[in-house]
Structure 1
Amino acid sequence: MNFHDTLLERTAPERQQLLCIPIIQSALAGNIGREDYLAFLQQAYHHVRHTVPLLMACGARLPTRLEWLREAIGEYIEEEMGHQEWVLDDIAACGGNRAAAAASTPALATELMVSYAYDTIQRGNPVGFFGMVLVLEGTSVALATRAADTLQQALGLPRNGFSYLLSHGDLDVEHVGFFKGLMDRLEDPDDQRAVVHAAQRFYTLYGDIFRTLRADGARLAEVA
């Protein structure tokens, strides 16, 4: 079995726990309000704006033996530049306050996930950051386009209020193939363990953002 398949197998329970979070299921059924969607976008802004700095930090910390992975990070950076602005544009298109969202403080769950990403790079094995890539891109492919289509119809919001979700649902199909190729080139057991461990943690941390959207950062449910 190649490493990418092993990674998916080892993280399947955490992935399923994320997908079963009530507010995610409600969104897929079109049963959330505009304020819930705006709350999601605001927290998305607070972690998406760190994507490029995190990629840069990861690339800087990689050892010489992973020069090929550093080059791949350059491609990721080019793709991810400016995506936080898409989120703010969606907020404005849906009637939210763009400036207020940009000036807001992230929820506890969002801040913790971002902090853990930086900590993984600086304190642990920087390759572990790709566990976060798996979680965010994999979740986007599984949910983004479907959720955007359902919510637009249910909430009566303009199509340009879903540019972040729609672009990531489509873009990340290609990214997942690129990601798979990178993971299958990881041969060092320590690198592989770092990615698995981080992915398991990021599924929980990212899930907590959804678990707490309606509670101003107070966790609503324990992981099953």
Structure 2
Amino acid sequence: MSFFETLQTATAEERQALFSVPVIRDALGGAVSLDGYVAFLTQAYHHVRHTVPLMMACGAKLPARLEWLRGAVCEYIEEEYGHEQWILNDIEACGGDPEQVRNSRPALPIELMVAFLYDLIARDNPVGLFGMVNVLEGTSVALATHAAGSIRQTLSLPPTAFSYLNSHGALDQEHMATYRTLMDRLDQPQDQQAVIHSAKVVYHLYSDMFRGLPRAQNEAGEVRHAHL
């Protein structure tokens, strides 16, 4: 079994828990409120804006034996740069306030997830950052492929409100193919275990973030709370 396949098997329980979160089941069926979509974009902004800094930190810490992976990180940085602005543009197209989002704090699960990843790179094994890639890109492919169109119809939003999801659907499918190749080159047990551990932690925290989002039938007070 390749390491990519091992990774998927090792994190199957956590992945199932994520896709069992009610708000994700709702989204895959097209049942999303405008507040829920904007709340999702808000939390996406708060972790996507760290993608490039995290990758830069990871690349700087990789050992010489993983020079091939450092090259892949450089390419990934170039592709991901500026994507947080796409999210702010989507929020504005939804009638939200991008400056308010830019100046807000993330929900606790996202704050903890970002902090965990920086700490993982600084104190543990920088290769572990690729556990995050497995979770976030795999999830965005699923949401973009199965949910974006139905959400757009449900909310009657313009195409300009979906630049993040739509672009990441196609882009992350390409990334996942490359990612599989990269992961299958990891041959050191400590690197493999770092990726598995990171993926499990990120799945857990990402699931907690989705549990905090408002569902379509929630009351306004709960919707407002989800933006905090």
Instruction: Give the corresponding residue for 2:164.
Output: 164
Residues 109 and 212 of structure 1 are in contact (CA less than 8 Å); yes or no, is this contact kept in structure 2?
no
Identity of aligned residues (%): 59
Matched residue SS, 1:37: helix
- Unmatched 5+ stretches in structure 1: 218-224
1:150 is aligned to 150
DSSP 3-state at the match of 1:105:
coil
Moved more, 32-41 or 139-148: 139-148
Aligned pair count reads 218
What is the distance in 2 between the residues matched to 1:28 and 1:6?
26
- State the one-letter code of the partner of 1:18: L
Task: Give distance in 1, aligned partners of 2:120 and 2:134.
Answer: 15
Structural RMSD (CA): 1.3
Equivalent residue letter for 1:14: E
Rounded to whole Å, the distance in 1 between the matches of 2:75 and 2:32 is 35
Does residue 5 (structure 1) correspond to residue 14 (structure 2)? The answer is no
Give the superposition deviation at 1:145: 2.9
How far, CA to CA, are the matches of 2:142 and 2:3 in structure 1?
20
2: CA distance, partners of 1:26 / 1:192: 34
TM-score if structure 2 supplies the norm length?
Answer: 0.93
Q: Name 1:204's counterpart in structure 2.
A: 204
**Partner residue in 2 for 1:78:** 78
What is the aligned partner in structure 1 of residue 217 from structure 2? none
Aligned to 2:115: 115
Name the SS of the counterpart of 2:182 in structure 1: helix
Amino acid at match of 1:28: L
Q: TM-score, normalised by structure 1?
A: 0.94
Which stretches in structure 2 are left out of the alignment for 5+ residues?
215-221
Q: Which residue of 1 aligns with 2:90?
A: 90
Superposition deviation, residue 98 in structure 1: 1.3
- Which stretch shows the higher mean deviation, 94-103 or 47-56? 94-103
Q: Which has the higher contact order (CA 8 A, sep 6+)?
A: 2
- For 1:30-72, what per-residue CA distance to the aligned partner results, in whole angstroms no more than 9, with x for missing partners? 2221001001101110100000000000001111110110010
* Distance in 2 separating the partners of 1:118 and 1:213: 25
Please name the residue that 1:189 is paired with.
Answer: 189
> Does structure 2 conserve the Cα–Cα contact (< 8 Å) formed by 1:51 and 1:80?
yes
In 2, the alpha carbon distance for the partners of 1:189 and 1:89 equals 42
2:21 aligned with 1:21, yes or no? Answer: yes
**CA–CA separation in structure 1 for the residues paired with 2:126 and 2:31:** 39
